[in-house]
A = this chain, B = another copy of it.
Amino acid sequence: MSERVAILAHEKFPDRSKTANGLLRYGDREVVAVLDRDRAGDGVADHLPGVGDAPIVGSFADVPGAVDRLVVGIAPIGGGFDESWRPDVRAAIEAGCDVSAGLHYFLSEDEEFAALAAEHGVDLHDVRRPHDELTVSGARAADVDAAVVLTVGTDCSVGKMTATMELAAAAEDAGVDARVVPTGQTGIMIEGWGNPIDRVVSDFTAGAVEEMVLEVGDDHDLLIVEGQGSIVHPAYSAVTCGILHGAMPDRLVLCHEVGREAVHGYESFDLPPVADYVDLYESLAAPVSGADVVAGALNTSGVGSDADAEAAVDGFSRTLDAPATDPVRFDAGEIVGAIR
Q: Which residue numbers of A lie inside 8 Å of B, CB to CB? A: 77-79, 104, 135-139, 197-207, 231-242, 244-246, 248, 266, 268-272, 276, 279-280, 283-284, 286-288
A136–B269 CB distance below 8 A = no
List of B residues within 8 angstroms of A78 by Cβ: 135-136
A235–B137 CB distance below 8 A = yes
Per the bound structure, the CA–CA distance linking A239 and B79 in Å amounts to: 20
User: In this complex, what residue of B is CB-closest to A80?
Assistant: B135
A245 touching B235 in the complex, CB below 8 Å, given contacts A266-B139, A269-B287, A287-B269: yes
List of B residues within 8 angstroms of A283 by Cβ: 276, 279-280, 283
List of B residues within 8 angstroms of A204 by Cβ: 202
A238 touching B239 in the complex, CB below 8 Å, given contacts A139-B269, A287-B269: yes
CB within 8 A of A206: which of B139, B235, B286?
B235
B234–A137 CB distance below 8 A = yes
B284–A280 CB distance below 8 A = yes
A284 touching B231 in the complex, CB below 8 Å, given contacts A77-B136, A203-B198: yes
A241–B231 CB distance below 8 A = yes
16 A-B pairs, CB-CB below 8 angstroms? Answer: A137-B235, A139-B235, A198-B202, A199-B201, A202-B202, A202-B204, A203-B238, A206-B237, A232-B245, A234-B288, A237-B241, A241-B242, A269-B287, A269-B288, A270-B287, A272-B287
12 A-B pairs besides A77-B136, A238-B241, A238-B245 with CB distance below 8 A are: A79-B203, A136-B236, A139-B235, A201-B202, A205-B238, A206-B235, A232-B287, A237-B244, A238-B239, A270-B287, A272-B287, A283-B283
List of B residues within 8 angstroms of A279 by Cβ: 283
A234–B245 CB distance below 8 A = yes
Oligomeric state, in number of copies?
2
CB within 8 A of A205: which of B79, B104, B202?
B202
User: In this complex, what residue of B is CB-closest to A232?
Assistant: B287
B235–A207 CB distance below 8 A = yes
CB within 8 A of A199: which of B138, B203, B239, B270?
B203
Per the bound structure, the CA–CA distance linking A206 and B205 in Å amounts to: 14
Per the bound structure, the CA–CA distance linking A295 and B235 in Å amounts to: 26
List of B residues within 8 angstroms of A137 by Cβ: 234-235
A132 to chain B, nearest CB (A): 12
CB within 8 A of A241: which of B201, B241, B266, B269?
B241
A1 to chain B, nearest CB (A): 36
List of B residues within 8 angstroms of A139 by Cβ: 234-235, 266, 268-269
Per the bound structure, the CA–CA distance linking A232 and B202 in Å amounts to: 15
A60 to chain B, nearest CB (A): 29
CB within 8 A of A201: which of B138, B200, B231, B237?
B200
Per the bound structure, the CA–CA distance linking A184 and B201 in Å amounts to: 14
A190 to chain B, nearest CB (A): 20
List of B residues within 8 angstroms of A136 by Cβ: 77-78, 235-236
List of B residues within 8 angstroms of A234 by Cβ: 137, 139, 206, 245-246, 248, 288
A318 to chain B, nearest CB (A): 22
Per the bound structure, the CA–CA distance linking A234 and B213 in Å amounts to: 14
